[in-house]
A and B are shown apart, each in its own frame.
Chain A
Amino acid sequence: MKQVFAYFLAVLMVFGAWALVSFSLARAKGRPILPYPWQAAAAAGENIWTLLSAFGVSALRFLLALVVAFFVGLPLGLAAGFEQKLEQFLSPLIYLLYPMPPVALLLFLYLAFGLGEVVRLVVVVMALFFQVVVAAQGAAKFIAPTHILAVRSTGASRWQLYWHVVVPATLPSVLTAARVSVGLGITMLYIAETKLGILLPPSQGLGRFIEYYTFRADIALAGVVALALLGLLFYVLLEVLERRLCRWKYVGVKGAGS
């Protein structure tokens, strides 16, 4: 309940600050620059169905990208961190590719995948994928040796070692990394939906929605707010997931003992 109230307060503060900025800008420049929150809200109300549809499409796109990035990145990252031979071979490769911004490759991606749904997914997946790989690799490198020994001494197979130790030991840091990279992911989603979405109607993604209404500042701004809410949604989702899956992280911290 307290959490809900805190979020409510945060929303109120953001809107207050926003109104203040709109007001000061209008006074300083002598003409309206940034629409007021209530103007954006009214614009959102007028275009609610388009906006909701754009939100849904973007959310689905992001979710799919997140799932794909996890399913491919997690095993690769864990193996690259846990298997020493693989690490020596893969580490330079990962660190060479990791800092490379997918945006810089937009032209080639477009040529390779065309302007369909696939290319938009690829851009977002590429950004999230390396975040997951690097986080998983880092965490898998520093698993406590006693935990590995405990499971090895039971005669566990390689697969069981991953299931009982490597995955649960690294899950908290991987989920935290995923949460942190939501911001980057949303940025990439926006770029994918604008630069690679020029053929779409405004209802097919928030990036496209914002771009489509470039000259209607109030509507465009409503789209930006929706994009921020989309980021918040995934942030909260990943936090809930972490609290569920890593319950052991949140027990006995304060006043541990019999």
Chain B
Amino acid sequence: MIEVQNVSIVYGSGQGAVPALEDISFSVGEGEMVAVVGPSGCGKTSLLLAIDGLLRPTSGRILIGGEEVRGVRRDVALILQDAGLLPWKTVRGNAELTLRIQKRRESVDGILSALGLNGFEGRFPAELSEGMRRRVGIARALALRPKVLLMDEPMANLDSLTRERIQNLILDLWWEMGFTGILVTHDIEEAVFLGQRIVVLSPRPARIRAILENPGMGEHAYRGSPEFLERAQGLRRILEANG
């Protein structure tokens, strides 16, 4: 479904050039959920923006469904860090944003109530708790019924209970809707909980350090099992190797 082939991204040029990604290659099968984990500021977000078509790789290429990505695709949705809600739009206005911009007429009522947001349609983001805001961000992405869902640290800066709840929610939605997912995170447990495969990146400029299989993933109960803890420890060791 998604092919990332020898992608490098360099910001700026000449003396001030800053390499963000170096020769990244991996692929994601249809319906698969892949976690990309790496230290903060290693270039994970750049990789996600490139897959979304918002950032052109300096070299290499990205294919989705066999076509090279050259701009924002309508079957790909992105969940931004801190949800990226527009403060001047209500919950409904935010959830509908992408549909309206793409001139689609589907209703968001279903997805809003699935995410426990009914009754709050007329509220502004400033009137919501942080956990609810993240759910609105998820609703905005899923309202498109996307084939591919890209997630940029959707659980960052949440208290641990809310974080687990949203992680469970994303897992359930993945089972239900069957999208192909790429989750970018710096949280080890989160990567193990949500990634069928885990792509481990090095510090900046990011290179692939390892790709781990994680067959046990898929249920809420996986979290806390001995296998889960073992994987998390293994992943931590890889991330900690040479700084």
* Residues on A facing B (Cβ under 8 Å): 146-147, 149-156, 160, 164-165, 168-169, 246-248, 251-253, 256-258
- Verify B74–A146 contact, CB threshold 8 A: no
Residues of A within 8 A of B87 (CB): 248
B85 within 8 A of A: yes
4 closest A-B pairs by beta carbon, nearest first, are: A252-B126, A258-B129, A155-B72, A252-B127
Identity of the chain B residue whose Cβ is nearest the Cβ of A161 in the assembled complex = B101
Q: How far is the CB of B12 from chain A (nearest CB, A)?
A: 15
Residues of B64-121 at the interface with A, using a CB-CB cut-off of 8 Å, are: 71-74, 78, 80-82, 84-89, 97-98, 101-102
Identity of the chain B residue whose Cβ is nearest the Cβ of A148 in the assembled complex = B84
- Verify B52–A153 contact, CB threshold 8 A: yes
Q: How far is the CB of B82 from chain A (nearest CB, A)?
A: 7
- Verify B54–A164 contact, CB threshold 8 A: no
Residues of B within 8 A of A168 (CB): 86, 88-89
Residues of B within 8 A of A152 (CB): 54, 72
With A155-B101, A248-B124, A252-B126 as given contacts, are A150 and B72 in contact (CB-CB < 8 Å)? no
Q: How many Å lie between the Cα of A132 and that of B71 in the bound state?
A: 35
Q: How many Å lie between the Cα of A220 and that of B208 in the bound state?
A: 81
Q: How many Å lie between the Cα of A152 and that of B80 in the bound state?
A: 12
- Verify A151–B101 contact, CB threshold 8 A: yes
Q: How many Å lie between the Cα of A155 and that of B75 in the bound state?
A: 11
User: What is the total number of residues of chain B having a CB less than 8 Å from a CB of chain A?
Assistant: 28
* Residues on B facing A (Cβ under 8 Å): 52, 54, 71-74, 78, 80-82, 84-89, 97-98, 101-102, 123-124, 126-129, 131-132
Q: How far is the CB of A116 from chain B (nearest CB, A)?
A: 41
- Verify B85–A154 contact, CB threshold 8 A: no
Q: How far is the CB of A223 from chain B (nearest CB, A)?
A: 41
Q: How far is the CB of A55 from chain B (nearest CB, A)?
A: 36
Partner of A155 from B74, B82, B85, B124 at Cβ < 8 Å = B74
- Verify B126–A251 contact, CB threshold 8 A: yes
Partner of B86 from A147, A155, A256 at Cβ < 8 Å = A147
With A155-B102, A160-B101, A164-B97 as given contacts, are A150 and B126 in contact (CB-CB < 8 Å)? no
**Given A151-B86, A251-B123, 18 other A-B contacts at CB below 8 A?**
A146-B82, A146-B84, A147-B84, A149-B84, A150-B84, A150-B97, A152-B72, A153-B52, A153-B80, A168-B88, A168-B89, A169-B88, A246-B88, A247-B124, A248-B88, A251-B124, A252-B124, A252-B127
Q: How many Å lie between the Cα of A149 and that of B71 in the bound state?
A: 13
- Verify B101–A153 contact, CB threshold 8 A: no
Residues of B within 8 A of A156 (CB): 101
- Verify A146–B80 contact, CB threshold 8 A: yes
Q: How far is the CB of B115 from chain A (nearest CB, A)?
A: 14
Q: How far is the CB of B92 from chain A (nearest CB, A)?
A: 13
CB pairs A–B below 8 angstroms (24 shown): A146-B82, A146-B84, A149-B54, A149-B80, A149-B84, A150-B80, A150-B85, A151-B97, A151-B101, A152-B72, A154-B72, A154-B97, A154-B98, A155-B101, A160-B101, A164-B101, A168-B88, A169-B88, A248-B89, A251-B124, A251-B127, A252-B126, A252-B127, A256-B127
Identity of the chain B residue whose Cβ is nearest the Cβ of A246 in the assembled complex = B88
Q: How many Å lie between the Cα of A27 and that of B162 in the bound state?
A: 74
Q: How many Å lie between the Cα of A150 and that of B88 in the bound state?
A: 13
Q: How far is the CB of B174 from chain A (nearest CB, A)?
A: 20
Q: How many Å lie between the Cα of A155 and that of B74 in the bound state?
A: 7
Residues of B within 8 A of A149 (CB): 54, 80, 84
Q: How many Å lie between the Cα of A155 and that of B69 in the bound state?
A: 13
Residues of B within 8 A of A151 (CB): 86, 97, 101
Residues of A within 8 A of B80 (CB): 146, 149-150, 153
Residues of A within 8 A of B73 (CB): 155
Residues of B within 8 A of A248 (CB): 87-89, 124, 126
- Verify B128–A154 contact, CB threshold 8 A: no
- Verify A154–B101 contact, CB threshold 8 A: yes
Q: How far is the CB of B103 from chain A (nearest CB, A)?
A: 10
Q: How far is the CB of B146 from chain A (nearest CB, A)?
A: 11
- Verify B72–A153 contact, CB threshold 8 A: yes
Q: How many Å lie between the Cα of A149 and that of B78 in the bound state?
A: 10
- Verify A258–B98 contact, CB threshold 8 A: no
Q: How many Å lie between the Cα of A154 and that of B143 in the bound state?
A: 12
Q: How many Å lie between the Cα of A164 and that of B93 in the bound state?
A: 10
Q: How far is the CB of A62 from chain B (nearest CB, A)?
A: 28
